[in-house]
Amino acid sequence: MGDPVADPVIQSVFANKEAEAVNRMLRSIESNVHLVPAEMPDSVEVYLNETDDWPDWADPEKVRLGQKLFHRYGMQMTLALFLWSLPSAYAWAKAARVLTWTGGIDKYVHRRIIETAQFVLDVMAEGGLEHGGFGVRTAQKIRLLHAAIRHHISKDPRWNAAEWDMPINQEDQVATLLSLALVPQVLPKLGMDFTPEEEHAYFHCWMLIGHFMGIRPELLPRDVEDGQQLWAAITERQVAPSENGAALTRALVDYLKLRIPGTMMDGLAVTLIRELCGDTVSEAVGLEKTDWTRHLLTPMKWMFNLADEVQDQSGLAAKLSASLSRKLIEGLHTSERGGGRVNFRIPESLKEAWSVSGTVPPMAE
Protein backbone atom coordinates (compact mmCIF):
# COMPACT_ATOMS: atom_id res chain seq x y z
CA MET A 1 0.00 0.00 0.00
CA GLY A 2 1.02 3.57 -0.62
CA ASP A 3 -0.31 6.73 1.04
CA PRO A 4 -4.03 7.47 0.48
CA VAL A 5 -3.53 11.10 1.59
CA ALA A 6 -0.28 12.18 -0.09
CA ASP A 7 -0.55 10.12 -3.28
CA PRO A 8 -3.68 11.92 -4.59
CA VAL A 9 -1.99 15.28 -3.88
CA ILE A 10 0.97 14.39 -6.10
CA GLN A 11 -1.30 12.95 -8.78
CA SER A 12 -3.23 16.23 -8.81
CA VAL A 13 -0.01 18.25 -9.00
CA PHE A 14 1.18 16.41 -12.11
CA ALA A 15 -2.25 16.33 -13.71
CA ASN A 16 -2.49 20.13 -13.35
CA LYS A 17 1.12 20.68 -14.51
CA GLU A 18 2.06 22.25 -11.17
CA ALA A 19 5.11 20.09 -10.57
CA GLU A 20 7.77 22.82 -10.72
CA ALA A 21 6.41 24.71 -7.70
CA VAL A 22 6.35 21.49 -5.66
CA ASN A 23 9.79 20.45 -6.92
CA ARG A 24 11.25 23.72 -5.65
CA MET A 25 9.91 22.90 -2.19
CA LEU A 26 11.10 19.29 -2.27
CA ARG A 27 14.58 20.29 -3.45
CA SER A 28 15.00 22.30 -0.25
CA ILE A 29 14.27 19.74 2.45
CA GLU A 30 16.68 21.60 4.74
CA SER A 31 14.73 24.89 4.39
CA ASN A 32 11.47 25.39 6.29
CA VAL A 33 11.36 29.16 6.52
CA HIS A 34 7.69 29.43 5.57
CA LEU A 35 5.05 27.46 7.45
CA VAL A 36 3.17 27.06 4.17
CA PRO A 37 5.45 28.02 1.26
CA ALA A 38 4.13 30.72 -1.04
CA GLU A 39 2.78 29.90 -4.49
CA MET A 40 1.94 26.32 -3.61
CA PRO A 41 -0.86 24.55 -5.50
CA ASP A 42 -4.12 24.51 -3.55
CA SER A 43 -3.94 20.74 -3.05
CA VAL A 44 -0.49 21.04 -1.45
CA GLU A 45 -1.54 23.93 0.77
CA VAL A 46 -4.55 21.95 2.00
CA TYR A 47 -2.31 18.92 2.59
CA LEU A 48 0.20 20.93 4.64
CA ASN A 49 -2.54 22.50 6.75
CA GLU A 50 -4.45 19.27 7.39
CA THR A 51 -1.64 16.82 8.18
CA ASP A 52 0.23 18.61 10.98
CA ASP A 53 -2.02 17.84 13.98
CA TRP A 54 -1.03 15.50 16.81
CA PRO A 55 -3.03 12.29 17.24
CA ASP A 56 -4.98 11.82 20.48
CA TRP A 57 -2.52 9.22 21.80
CA ALA A 58 0.56 11.50 21.63
CA ASP A 59 1.99 12.38 25.06
CA PRO A 60 3.76 15.78 25.23
CA GLU A 61 5.76 14.78 28.32
CA LYS A 62 7.13 11.66 26.61
CA VAL A 63 7.99 13.69 23.53
CA ARG A 64 9.96 16.18 25.61
CA LEU A 65 11.77 13.40 27.49
CA GLY A 66 12.64 11.64 24.25
CA GLN A 67 14.04 14.85 22.78
CA LYS A 68 16.07 15.39 25.95
CA LEU A 69 17.71 11.99 25.41
CA PHE A 70 18.62 13.11 21.90
CA HIS A 71 20.06 16.34 23.29
CA ARG A 72 22.24 14.20 25.55
CA TYR A 73 23.38 11.60 23.02
CA GLY A 74 22.40 13.20 19.72
CA MET A 75 25.87 13.28 18.23
CA GLN A 76 26.36 9.59 18.99
CA MET A 77 22.86 8.84 17.68
CA THR A 78 23.77 10.63 14.47
CA LEU A 79 26.82 8.39 14.28
CA ALA A 80 24.48 5.39 14.69
CA LEU A 81 22.44 6.70 11.76
CA PHE A 82 25.52 6.32 9.55
CA LEU A 83 26.67 3.02 11.02
CA TRP A 84 23.44 1.14 11.80
CA SER A 85 20.26 2.72 10.42
CA LEU A 86 21.41 3.27 6.83
CA PRO A 87 23.27 -0.05 6.38
CA SER A 88 20.27 -1.88 7.85
CA ALA A 89 18.01 -0.21 5.27
CA TYR A 90 20.40 -1.07 2.44
CA ALA A 91 20.13 -4.75 3.45
CA TRP A 92 16.45 -4.80 2.41
CA ALA A 93 16.86 -6.00 -1.17
CA LYS A 94 13.55 -4.65 -2.51
CA ALA A 95 13.90 -1.24 -0.86
CA ALA A 96 17.52 -0.95 -2.02
CA ARG A 97 16.31 -1.35 -5.59
CA VAL A 98 14.20 1.80 -5.20
CA LEU A 99 17.17 3.78 -3.86
CA THR A 100 19.31 2.89 -6.89
CA TRP A 101 16.57 3.06 -9.52
CA THR A 102 17.41 6.51 -10.84
CA GLY A 103 21.17 5.87 -11.00
CA GLY A 104 23.90 8.15 -9.69
CA ILE A 105 24.42 5.98 -6.62
CA ASP A 106 27.25 8.04 -5.10
CA LYS A 107 25.36 11.33 -5.33
CA TYR A 108 22.12 9.74 -4.19
CA VAL A 109 23.73 8.21 -1.11
CA HIS A 110 25.29 11.54 -0.16
CA ARG A 111 21.98 13.32 -0.66
CA ARG A 112 20.13 10.72 1.38
CA ILE A 113 22.66 11.02 4.21
CA ILE A 114 22.34 14.79 4.30
CA GLU A 115 18.56 14.89 4.09
CA THR A 116 18.08 12.07 6.59
CA ALA A 117 20.46 13.70 9.06
CA GLN A 118 18.68 17.04 8.62
CA PHE A 119 15.34 15.31 9.17
CA VAL A 120 16.52 13.63 12.38
CA LEU A 121 17.93 16.87 13.78
CA ASP A 122 14.77 18.80 12.88
CA VAL A 123 12.31 16.39 14.50
CA MET A 124 14.39 15.77 17.63
CA ALA A 125 15.29 19.41 18.34
CA GLU A 126 13.39 21.24 21.05
CA GLY A 127 10.04 22.33 19.58
CA GLY A 128 10.62 20.39 16.37
CA LEU A 129 7.40 18.43 16.73
CA GLU A 130 5.24 21.30 17.93
CA HIS A 131 2.54 22.64 15.62
CA GLY A 132 4.36 24.23 12.66
CA GLY A 133 7.74 23.06 13.93
CA PHE A 134 10.68 22.45 11.61
CA GLY A 135 10.44 18.71 12.20
CA VAL A 136 6.76 18.54 11.30
CA ARG A 137 7.35 20.48 8.09
CA THR A 138 10.32 18.31 7.12
CA ALA A 139 8.25 15.16 7.71
CA GLN A 140 5.42 16.55 5.58
CA LYS A 141 7.84 17.36 2.75
CA ILE A 142 9.47 13.92 2.84
CA ARG A 143 6.00 12.33 2.82
CA LEU A 144 5.26 14.24 -0.40
CA LEU A 145 8.68 13.29 -1.78
CA HIS A 146 7.89 9.62 -1.18
CA ALA A 147 4.57 10.05 -2.99
CA ALA A 148 6.36 11.68 -5.93
CA ILE A 149 8.85 8.80 -6.13
CA ARG A 150 6.00 6.27 -6.05
CA HIS A 151 4.25 8.22 -8.82
CA HIS A 152 7.27 8.19 -11.12
CA ILE A 153 8.51 4.65 -10.50
CA SER A 154 5.05 3.09 -10.68
CA LYS A 155 4.66 4.57 -14.18
CA ASP A 156 8.03 3.21 -15.32
CA PRO A 157 7.37 0.12 -17.47
CA ARG A 158 10.64 -1.40 -16.24
CA TRP A 159 9.32 -1.60 -12.66
CA ASN A 160 8.10 -5.15 -11.98
CA ALA A 161 5.47 -4.47 -9.30
CA ALA A 162 4.39 -8.10 -9.13
CA GLU A 163 7.86 -9.13 -7.99
CA TRP A 164 9.21 -5.96 -6.36
CA ASP A 165 6.03 -4.57 -4.72
CA MET A 166 4.95 -0.94 -4.61
CA PRO A 167 7.96 1.36 -4.09
CA ILE A 168 8.19 3.00 -0.66
CA ASN A 169 5.17 1.08 0.57
CA GLN A 170 3.86 1.03 4.12
CA GLU A 171 6.14 -1.84 5.15
CA ASP A 172 9.18 0.00 3.79
CA GLN A 173 8.20 3.14 5.65
CA VAL A 174 7.56 1.55 9.04
CA ALA A 175 10.84 -0.38 8.71
CA THR A 176 12.70 2.86 8.03
CA LEU A 177 10.95 4.48 10.99
CA LEU A 178 12.05 1.62 13.25
CA SER A 179 15.65 1.92 12.04
CA LEU A 180 15.57 5.37 13.65
CA ALA A 181 13.28 4.69 16.61
CA LEU A 182 15.35 1.70 17.81
CA VAL A 183 18.73 3.48 17.67
CA PRO A 184 19.05 3.37 21.49
CA GLN A 185 19.33 -0.42 21.36
CA VAL A 186 22.71 -0.17 19.62
CA LEU A 187 24.15 2.54 21.88
CA PRO A 188 25.11 0.14 24.71
CA LYS A 189 27.61 -1.41 22.27
CA LEU A 190 29.41 1.93 22.47
CA GLY A 191 29.33 1.95 26.27
CA MET A 192 26.38 4.33 26.78
CA ASP A 193 23.36 3.75 28.97
CA PHE A 194 20.00 5.34 29.69
CA THR A 195 16.83 4.49 31.58
CA PRO A 196 13.98 2.37 30.17
CA GLU A 197 11.76 5.42 30.61
CA GLU A 198 14.05 7.46 28.35
CA GLU A 199 14.17 4.71 25.74
CA HIS A 200 10.37 4.39 25.67
CA ALA A 201 9.98 8.17 25.45
CA TYR A 202 12.41 8.32 22.52
CA PHE A 203 10.47 5.55 20.80
CA HIS A 204 7.22 7.45 21.44
CA CYS A 205 8.69 10.49 19.65
CA TRP A 206 9.29 8.41 16.57
CA MET A 207 5.80 6.94 16.56
CA LEU A 208 4.51 10.51 16.50
CA ILE A 209 6.88 11.21 13.60
CA GLY A 210 5.51 8.10 11.88
CA HIS A 211 2.05 9.63 12.18
CA PHE A 212 3.27 12.76 10.37
CA MET A 213 4.96 10.56 7.74
CA GLY A 214 1.65 8.92 6.85
CA ILE A 215 2.21 5.45 8.30
CA ARG A 216 -1.09 3.71 8.94
CA PRO A 217 -2.07 3.80 12.66
CA GLU A 218 -2.39 0.02 12.92
CA LEU A 219 1.23 -0.39 11.76
CA LEU A 220 2.69 1.91 14.42
CA PRO A 221 4.00 -0.27 17.29
CA ARG A 222 2.60 0.39 20.75
CA ASP A 223 5.93 0.34 22.58
CA VAL A 224 9.60 -0.61 22.28
CA GLU A 225 8.98 -4.33 22.70
CA ASP A 226 6.27 -4.31 20.04
CA GLY A 227 8.63 -2.36 17.78
CA GLN A 228 11.47 -4.84 18.29
CA GLN A 229 9.16 -7.72 17.34
CA LEU A 230 8.01 -5.93 14.19
CA TRP A 231 11.62 -5.06 13.32
CA ALA A 232 12.62 -8.71 13.68
CA ALA A 233 9.73 -9.83 11.48
CA ILE A 234 10.50 -7.32 8.73
CA THR A 235 14.22 -8.08 8.90
CA GLU A 236 13.60 -11.81 8.51
CA ARG A 237 11.28 -11.13 5.59
CA GLN A 238 13.23 -8.46 3.71
CA VAL A 239 16.98 -8.80 4.35
CA ALA A 240 18.66 -10.49 1.39
CA PRO A 241 21.91 -10.10 -0.55
CA SER A 242 21.62 -7.70 -3.47
CA GLU A 243 23.97 -5.78 -5.71
CA ASN A 244 21.89 -2.66 -5.10
CA GLY A 245 22.40 -2.92 -1.35
CA ALA A 246 26.10 -3.64 -1.81
CA ALA A 247 26.53 -0.62 -4.12
CA LEU A 248 24.76 1.67 -1.66
CA THR A 249 26.90 0.40 1.21
CA ARG A 250 30.14 0.84 -0.74
CA ALA A 251 29.14 4.43 -1.45
CA LEU A 252 28.30 4.96 2.23
CA VAL A 253 31.64 3.53 3.39
CA ASP A 254 33.49 5.68 0.86
CA TYR A 255 31.64 8.73 2.17
CA LEU A 256 32.59 7.86 5.75
CA LYS A 257 36.24 7.39 4.80
CA LEU A 258 36.26 10.92 3.44
CA ARG A 259 35.15 12.21 6.87
CA ILE A 260 37.89 10.41 8.83
CA PRO A 261 41.22 12.29 8.58
CA GLY A 262 44.07 10.48 6.84
CA THR A 263 44.01 6.89 5.55
CA MET A 264 45.32 4.90 8.50
CA MET A 265 41.82 4.70 10.05
CA ASP A 266 39.90 3.96 6.84
CA GLY A 267 38.89 0.54 8.15
CA LEU A 268 37.14 2.01 11.19
CA ALA A 269 33.85 2.60 9.35
CA VAL A 270 33.60 -1.05 8.31
CA THR A 271 34.59 -2.21 11.79
CA LEU A 272 31.88 -0.15 13.44
CA ILE A 273 29.18 -1.10 10.92
CA ARG A 274 29.93 -4.79 11.47
CA GLU A 275 29.92 -4.30 15.25
CA LEU A 276 26.55 -2.53 15.28
CA CYS A 277 24.72 -4.33 12.45
CA GLY A 278 25.87 -7.91 13.00
CA ASP A 279 26.79 -10.58 10.48
CA THR A 280 23.43 -11.04 8.75
CA VAL A 281 23.12 -7.44 7.59
CA SER A 282 26.87 -7.10 6.95
CA GLU A 283 26.92 -10.12 4.67
CA ALA A 284 23.73 -9.06 2.86
CA VAL A 285 25.30 -5.74 1.87
CA GLY A 286 28.62 -7.35 0.93
CA LEU A 287 30.58 -5.50 3.60
CA GLU A 288 34.30 -6.17 3.50
CA LYS A 289 36.09 -7.85 6.40
CA THR A 290 37.41 -5.79 9.30
CA ASP A 291 41.07 -4.87 9.57
CA TRP A 292 43.28 -4.00 12.56
CA THR A 293 40.84 -1.26 13.63
CA ARG A 294 38.67 -3.93 15.28
CA HIS A 295 41.14 -3.72 18.17
CA LEU A 296 39.99 -0.13 18.77
CA LEU A 297 36.50 -1.21 19.83
CA THR A 298 37.41 -1.81 23.47
CA PRO A 299 39.09 1.58 24.06
CA MET A 300 36.27 3.31 22.13
CA LYS A 301 33.67 1.72 24.41
CA TRP A 302 35.68 2.88 27.40
CA MET A 303 35.83 6.40 26.01
CA PHE A 304 32.08 6.57 25.41
CA ASN A 305 31.36 5.09 28.83
CA LEU A 306 33.65 7.61 30.55
CA ALA A 307 31.87 10.45 28.82
CA ASP A 308 28.47 9.02 29.81
CA GLU A 309 29.45 9.08 33.48
CA VAL A 310 30.89 12.56 33.61
CA GLN A 311 29.58 14.55 30.67
CA ASP A 312 27.20 16.52 32.87
CA GLN A 313 30.26 17.88 34.66
CA SER A 314 32.88 17.74 31.92
CA GLY A 315 32.35 19.29 28.50
CA LEU A 316 35.75 17.93 27.47
CA ALA A 317 34.72 14.31 28.05
CA ALA A 318 31.52 14.85 26.06
CA LYS A 319 33.53 16.30 23.19
CA LEU A 320 35.93 13.35 23.24
CA SER A 321 33.09 10.84 23.21
CA ALA A 322 31.52 12.52 20.17
CA SER A 323 34.72 13.22 18.22
CA LEU A 324 33.95 10.89 15.33
CA SER A 325 30.31 11.98 15.31
CA ARG A 326 31.44 15.59 15.16
CA LYS A 327 33.64 14.90 12.13
CA LEU A 328 30.69 13.37 10.32
CA ILE A 329 28.31 16.20 11.22
CA GLU A 330 30.85 18.82 10.21
CA GLY A 331 31.34 16.93 6.97
CA LEU A 332 27.69 17.38 6.11
CA HIS A 333 28.38 21.10 5.73
CA THR A 334 30.84 20.50 2.92
CA SER A 335 29.01 17.66 1.17
CA GLU A 336 27.87 18.03 -2.39
CA ARG A 337 24.30 17.38 -3.35
CA GLY A 338 23.24 17.37 -6.97
CA GLY A 339 26.26 19.34 -8.18
CA GLY A 340 26.23 22.07 -5.52
CA ARG A 341 26.94 22.54 -1.85
CA VAL A 342 24.25 21.93 0.71
CA ASN A 343 23.21 24.30 3.46
CA PHE A 344 23.04 21.92 6.42
CA ARG A 345 21.36 23.56 9.39
CA ILE A 346 21.79 22.55 13.04
CA PRO A 347 18.83 23.67 15.19
CA GLU A 348 19.70 26.25 17.83
CA SER A 349 18.86 24.03 20.81
CA LEU A 350 21.19 21.30 19.53
CA LYS A 351 24.02 23.70 18.71
CA GLU A 352 23.92 24.82 22.33
CA ALA A 353 23.67 21.30 23.73
CA TRP A 354 26.54 19.98 21.59
CA SER A 355 28.72 23.11 21.60
CA VAL A 356 28.95 23.15 17.81
CA SER A 357 28.90 26.03 15.37
CA GLY A 358 25.94 26.97 13.22
CA THR A 359 25.22 26.47 9.57
CA VAL A 360 27.77 27.02 6.86
CA PRO A 361 26.56 29.39 4.09
CA PRO A 362 25.71 27.50 0.89
CA MET A 363 28.30 27.71 -1.87
CA ALA A 364 27.47 28.74 -5.40
CA GLU A 365 26.03 26.10 -7.71
Tens of pLDDT along 131-185?
Answer: 878 899 889 989 998 999 999 998 899 999 888 889 999 999 999 999 999 999 9
Write the CB contacts of 168 (distance below 8 Å, at least 6 apart in sequence).
2, 95, 98, 146, 149, 150
Least confident of 99-103, 138-142, 236-240: 99-103
Residue 310 confidence (pLDDT) = 45
Residue 78 confidence (pLDDT) = 86
Least confident of 206-210, 302-306, 314-318: 314-318
Residues 324, 78 contacting (CB under 8 angstroms)? no
- Rounded distance, CA 302 to CA 235, Å? 30
What would the mean pLDDT of 5-27 be, rounded to a whole number?
Answer: 81
Write down the H helix ranges in 27-104. Answer: 42-50, 60-80, 86-90, 93-100
- Rounded distance, CA 64 to CA 58, Å? 11
Residues 138, 32 contacting (CB under 8 angstroms)? yes
Residues 144, 28 contacting (CB under 8 angstroms)? no
Q: Is the pLDDT of residue 264 over 50?
A: no
Residue 360 confidence (pLDDT) = 43
pLDDT cut 70: percent of the chain above it: 72
Least confident of 84-93, 165-174, 311-320: 311-320
Cβ neighbours around 176 below 10 Å, total: 22
> Domain boundaries in the chain?
60-127+166-354
SS3 label, residue 295? helix
**Residue predicted with more confidence, 161 or 236:** 236
What would the mean pLDDT of 79-105 be, rounded to a whole number?
Answer: 87
Query: What is the distance, to the nearest Å, from the Cα of residue 244 to the centroid of all Cα atoms in its chain?
Result: 19
SS3 label, residue 277? helix
What would the mean pLDDT of 83-91 be, rounded to a whole number?
Answer: 93
- Rounded distance, CA 213 to CA 115, Å? 15
The sign one gets for the Cα dihedral 116, 121, 127, 133 is negative
Of 98, 229, 117, 255, give the one whose Cα is nearest residue 173. 98
Q: Is the pLDDT of residue 265 over 60?
A: no
Least confident of 36-45, 157-166, 229-238, 327-336: 327-336
